[in-house]
């Protein structure tokens, strides 16, 4: 039963993780760039595939798009960063 509960909340490494690695971003970079209230723990959970609320996912998307805007790159949508 315990193992079944874990699979409901864990989706594996998310596309966000590889995108952040390609952009050479650390969790701290997103936290600092965000004008919303996000934490290192939120970013860590987002990268590792823990289930997040829609609101938290949107905050992560907004933060990475701020960084992309600063670099003159195209913005991402939620579906590009998360596979659940």
pLDDT at 4: 56
Print pLDDT tens along the chain (84 aa).
455 555 678 899 999 999 999 999 999 999 999 999 999 999 999 999 999 999 999 999 999 999 999 999 999 999 999 999
Can you spell out the DSSP letters for 20-60? HHHTT--HHHHHHH-SS---HHHHHHHHHTB---HHHHHHH
**What residue spans define the domains of the chain?**
2-81
Q: What's the pTM value of the predicted model, to 2 decimals?
A: 0.87
- pLDDT tens, 27-42? 999 999 999 999 999 9
């Amino acid at each position: 039963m315990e193992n079944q509960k874990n699979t409901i909340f864990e989706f594996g490494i998310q596309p966000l993780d590889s995108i952040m690695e390609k952009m050479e971003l650390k969790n701290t970079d997103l936290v600092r760039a965000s004008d919303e209230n996000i934490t290192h723990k939120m970013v860590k959970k987002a990268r590792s595939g823990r289930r997040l609320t829609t609101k938290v996912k949107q905050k992560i998307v907004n933060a990475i798009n701020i960084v992309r805007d600063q670099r003159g790159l195209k913005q991402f949508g939620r579906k590009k960063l998360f596979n659940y």
